[in-house]
Every structure is written in structure tokens, then in C-alpha cells.
Structure 1
Amino acid sequence: MRYSLPPLNSFRAFECVARHMSFAKAANELGLTPSALSYQVKMLEDQLQTQLFTRLNRAIELTSAGHRLLPGVEAGLENFSEAVARIKGVDEDKVLVISTGPGTASKVIAPRIYRFMEVYPEIELRISANLKLVDFYRDDVDLGLRFGRGPYPGLHIDFLAQDFLTPMCAPRLANEMNEPTDLKNFTLLHEDSMATFLNAPGWKEWLKTAGISRTSWSEKGMHFSQIDHAQDAAIEGAGVILGRKVLCAHDARLGLLAKPFDFEIPATAHYMLVGLENSFQKHKCKAFIDWIKSELNELCLS
């Protein structure tokens, strides 16, 4: 049975308000005035003869009817997008766009991407490497491969693996160290983005866990904004990085990095895939999920 549906713009307005939980932010995204946006949502509520939002003093909430309606609207808008792409000659099920951080792109995906291509030659994998947050409703991205703790409101999350921190450096430097206190004689390399975004443990925490209480020298050294830059500096012998085990695994296998000590601590963050729930059901996304889980499992055991 088919029903007389409200205008498509009213569904788009509802979805946008529900995603932001803000009429003002939704109006800004859609290029509408708040009053015009409110009218579209009100028109949808009138035609459905039910209230979709509860208006509070400084916030809004979805009603039970709004919660029931939202998944269908999200899926419908996604289907519209895919239908338009097919008309334009783009087979969306063969183009897979993954957003991830530069470090994960260069140290995990790039060295092993040939394995994905061998198993799934029909899928065109595109990697968008940056740290900005993705709007999965507006950006041309299927899944985000993230290293963090979340939360990511409104998105489906698939936890993949945890990483661990341990000193890593060029093999010739590792051969000069016998115990953790020897680190004070070397340049420590710091990657600041984890501390900034994740409040993650650093050199000070690793040294204290290793039994070194006086760590006034732990903040000295060279600071980098990207983990892969700090890791490359360590490869060239510039100093010692508190490396992430998964990110360092490929360079360690090549003999470019070595662990002077076996002791490691949890990074307090996880690798995870995030995106719209219906994206996880697509063939191309399932293929990537299976592949990256296998690769991370292998790297974690390195």
C-alpha cells in the first residue's frame, strides 16, 4: 500500500534537525532561516498528525514517534542519493571511500593495501587522510577508521583493536640502551595530537610505570603534530618515539625500528570503524571491515 507522502524537503529538514538536535545548526547547514526550517518540520508533523520533537527551554528531544521515523528517513535519503549516482553513471557499490588519520593511512593501510586489491579487485578503494570530523550525510565518505575513544553520537561503531605504547627507535640506538633510565641520554620524540585530542598517556606515564619516578626530563625533546612524522624521525635516528605498536609494526618488520625494551602500556584508545548504520550492511563496506579486522589482528600479534 502506498501513502501520500509529505514533500521530500520536509523529511530532509527533519533528518537534519534530528542529527544536530538543534534548529539553528540545521538551518545553517541547509541554508534556511530558522523560521523556514521550523515551518517545514511543522508541515511534516501536521501531515503525519504526530509530534516529532519535544521543545524544551534550551534544547529539543525526539519524541517516540520521531525515534521510530528517523531510521526510515535516513535510509530513504541514502537510497535517493544512490539512485541519483546510478543515473549519473557512478556505481557506488564499487567505489569505497574511507576517512582516516594520516598516521593510520601511511603506516597501516598504505603498506598493506595491495592485499585488499588482490582479494577485491572490483572495489575502487579511496583513502581520505585527515583528522577532521566527517559528516556522513554530506561528505562523500562511507566509513571512518578512527583511533580514539568516542563517543560518536548518532553513528554506528564497530570496535576493532586496542593499541599499546612502547619506546621505538632505530636499531643502532636500541643497541646502546640497557635499561629505561638510559632514555635520558637520548632525544625523546613526542607526538602531540594524542595528548591534545585523547588526553592519552605519554613519556611521563610510561616512565613512571617502568619504575622511574624522577621524570623532569620526560617533556624535553622534539615535538610533532603528526604521529607518522615523529615515527619517520625515529627511523632516521633523530631520537626515540613512544610508538604505537600497531603503527610501528610494518617499519619494525622492515628492520627500520626496534624496541629497546619489551615493556608496554595501553594507549587508552581503540581502532574503530564509524559510520551510518546502513553503510555497514553494504557489500563494499563489509569487504573492508573483514579485511581491516584481519590486518589489525595480525599487526596486534606482531
Structure 2
Amino acid sequence: MPQGRTTRGQLANLRALRAFEAAACHLSFTLAAKELSVSQGAISHQIKLLEDRLGKNLFIRSGKGVSLTLEGKLLRDVCQRSFDEIGETLSLIGQKRDAQVLRVRSGPFFAMKVIAPRISEFLSANPGIQLHLNNLDPDSASLGSEDVLIKYCLHPPANSASVEILKENLVLICNPDLLASGDDLARIIARPDVARLHYRDMNDWQSWLETFGYDGPAASQNLIFDDQHTILEAVRSGQGIGMAERSLIRGDVARGRIAILSDLCLRPKTSYKFIYKTDRAASHPVIGLFQRWLEQQVEMIQRESAPQ
């Protein structure tokens, strides 16, 4: 028997847990009874059974009402999460048969800069598709339960197919105030009081310096981030010089929040890849629809932001 199933028999009945969760949410047996369409006495009875089973009080009862004990708060949080997940799963299973679900996992930066601002166009052009966009664990080594993984990587996970969806043109970016000194590029990037901001490692900066012949002294300040949003915020607030895909900072540049320090573009080997399972794509054509739409969006974004 799988580990964990041996304790199933110790679980309280679902009716008691539902009564407890409703009462814990409202901090009122009366409102819980109204929510579940039962009598207040039924709520009290179920909660008493649960407390007797646990040998712990879950509520503190007083003339002013009820409040939760520490044990009650713990059980409330677990019940709320569990009932929410059960409800979402039941809703998914019971959806219309003609609806197609597309599960996509992507890092938050790509999702917010590329997918989220334009996804209504895809859904309008493809009625009946439900998109589930997950930003958790984008660096996972496998697709898991998702249909598509959009990952910034050099090589896709094993046993999967991939298409390069975005090859970056990285430019140096900074707060516009940094340009006020009138110094040339070489002086600015060599300033000891200006930090270099890196994404995950220092490789892109090193490649840029070597590619364009800026072999001055090493930076005295280096900040390494795991999130591109954090880099942009650090740049906006004047914390140093970062690097970013030119097309994805267009709005910040137009609003004067970020300045492009140099038009010299680095094209790193690492890129955003559209990763999927071949057999899944064959039986789930919406994956191909989404891939083609996303390729069109990226092409349009990069074309619109290209230097004139």
C-alpha cells in the first residue's frame, strides 16, 4: 500500500470538515449553516464530532462569538487549500466537451512581457480554448503535466521537442540620469561606482565586453539576479547597468524610465524555447496553433522595436 494511504482511515468525514471550514471562514456557525443550507445545530454537531475525534478544541467559544485556536487555524488553512483544489479539478473535469485546455508553463518575465498583453487576441481567434498559464517552477527539467514549457535555456529537457521562439538582442540599459554626465560609453561602464547587473551569471556581460572590445578593468560591483523583473527595477532606480532584450523594454524606454546605453547588441547562445512532446502535439493541435501565434507575436514585437 502506498505510503500515506494507511492514514486515510483516520480522516474525519467530509461533512464534518465542510462544516468546520465554513464556520472557520465566517467565524460564525449561523453563517456556516446558511452557506451549507443546514441548521445551526447540524453545524455545531459536526464540529463537536470533529473536536471529539481529534481530542482538541478547534474553536474558542465566548458570549461575543467564536474564534479559532491554533489547531483550528492550522486545519482551516489546509481545508481551504484542499477544497479549492478539489473545486478547480471538478470544474475542469466537468467543462464542456468541446472546450480544449492548453496548459503552458513559462517564467514570469516572458509571460508578462509577451503572452499576457496579447493573449486575448489568441483566445478570440480560437474560441473554445482555455489557457492555463503557470509561472511556477519554469526551470523544471521536464514538462510535467503541462502541454508547453517556455524556457530560457541552451538545450531543451530530454525526451522533448523544441522550437527557438525568441533569440535575444541584448543591449546595455541604465537609468537615464546616468547619461547626464556626458561621458562616453567606455568611461561609463568603467566607472567604479556603477555596478554591473547580471542575469543568473556573468557570462553575457563578459561576452559583450569581449565581442565589442571593451577590455577595461573588471567591475568593482557586480550584482547577480535570478529574475529579470528585478534587474529592470534595479536599472530604473539607478542601481547600475543591466542587459535586456531590446524589444521587451520598449515601453520603459518610451516612458523615459530606462535608457539604452548602447545599440551594440549581443546575441547569446541561450534563448527562449517552445518545448513540447511530439506525441502530445499530434493529438492536441492547439499546441501547434499556440506555437505559430507566439512566433508571430515575437516577430512583430522585435520588428516594431528595431532601430530605424
Q: TM range, normalised to the smaller chain?
A: 0.5 to 0.7
Report the counterpart of residue 239 of structure 2 in structure 1.
238
Report the counterpart of residue 160 of structure 2 in structure 1.
155
Structure 1 residues 42-70: Cα deviation after superposition (integer angstroms, max 9, x where no partner): xxxxxxxxxxxxxxxxxxxxxxxxxxxxx
Report the counterpart of residue 190 of structure 1 in structure 2.
197
TM-superposed deviation, 1:253: 4.6
CA contact (8 A) 2:156 2:275 kept: no
Q: What 5-or-longer segments of structure 1 have no aligned partner? A: 1-27, 29-84
1:118 and 1:237 map into 2 onto residues whose CA distance is: 40
1:112 and 1:252 map into 2 onto residues whose CA distance is: 20
Q: Note the aligned Cα RMSD (angstroms).
A: 3.1
- Mapping of residues 59-78 of structure 1, within 5 Å: none
TM-superposed deviation, 1:101: 1.7
1:145 to 145, 150, 163: 150
- Mapping of residues 200-279 of structure 1, within 5 Å: 201-217=203-219, 220-279=221-280
CA contact (8 A) 1:162 1:270 kept: yes
Match for 1:154: what amino acid?
N
1:92 and 1:251 map into 2 onto residues whose CA distance is: 41
Q: What 5-or-longer segments of structure 2 have no aligned partner? A: 3-89
1:92 and 1:233 map into 2 onto residues whose CA distance is: 46
Report the counterpart of residue 72 of structure 1 in structure 2.
none
Report the counterpart of residue 25 of structure 2 in structure 1.
none
Q: Secondary structure at the match of 2:272?
A: strand
Report the counterpart of residue 108 of structure 1 in structure 2.
114
| Greater relative contact order, per chain length (Cα 8 Å cut-off, separation 6+) | 1
TM-superposed deviation, 1:262: 0.9
TM-superposed deviation, 1:150: 0.7
CA contact (8 A) 2:173 2:235 kept: yes
Report the counterpart of residue 68 of structure 2 in structure 1.
none
Report the counterpart of residue 298 of structure 2 in structure 1.
296
1:265 and 1:112 map into 2 onto residues whose CA distance is: 27
CA contact (8 A) 1:180 1:207 kept: no
TM-superposed deviation, 1:296: 1.1
CA contact (8 A) 1:190 1:222 kept: yes
1:279 and 1:296 map into 2 onto residues whose CA distance is: 24
Match for 1:89: what amino acid?
G
CA contact (8 A) 1:93 1:283 kept: no
Q: Secondary structure at the match of 1:263?
A: strand
- Mapping of residues 8-87 of structure 1, within 5 Å: none
TM-superposed deviation, 1:121: 4.5
1:128 and 1:103 map into 2 onto residues whose CA distance is: 12
Q: Secondary structure at the match of 1:242?
A: strand
TM-superposed deviation, 1:175: 4.8
The verdict on how the C-alpha distance between 1:115 and 1:88 changes in structure 2, with shifts beyond 3 A counting, is: closer
TM-superposed deviation, 1:284: 2.1
2:165 and 2:175 map into 1 onto residues whose CA distance is: 29
Q: Secondary structure at the match of 2:155?
A: coil
Q: How many residues were matched structurally? A: 213
The verdict on how the C-alpha distance between 1:118 and 1:183 changes in structure 2, with shifts beyond 3 A counting, is: farther
1:211 and 1:271 map into 2 onto residues whose CA distance is: 27
2:111 and 2:92 map into 1 onto residues whose CA distance is: 32
**Consecutive aligned runs of 4 or more in structure 1 exceeding 6 Å deviation:** none
The verdict on how the C-alpha distance between 1:87 and 1:268 changes in structure 2, with shifts beyond 3 A counting, is: closer
Q: Secondary structure at the match of 1:268?
A: coil
The verdict on how the C-alpha distance between 1:144 and 1:256 changes in structure 2, with shifts beyond 3 A counting, is: same
2:237 and 2:127 map into 1 onto residues whose CA distance is: 35
1:267 and 1:249 map into 2 onto residues whose CA distance is: 20
Structure 1 residues 133-188: Cα deviation after superposition (integer angstroms, max 9, x where no partner): 1543xx33110112211143211112223112210123333454532331233533
Percent identity for Structure 1 against Structure 2:
19
Match for 2:236: what amino acid?
I
**Which has the greater radius of gyration?**
2
CA contact (8 A) 2:169 2:267 kept: yes
Give the TM-score, by structure 2 length: 0.59
Report the counterpart of residue 283 of structure 1 in structure 2.
285
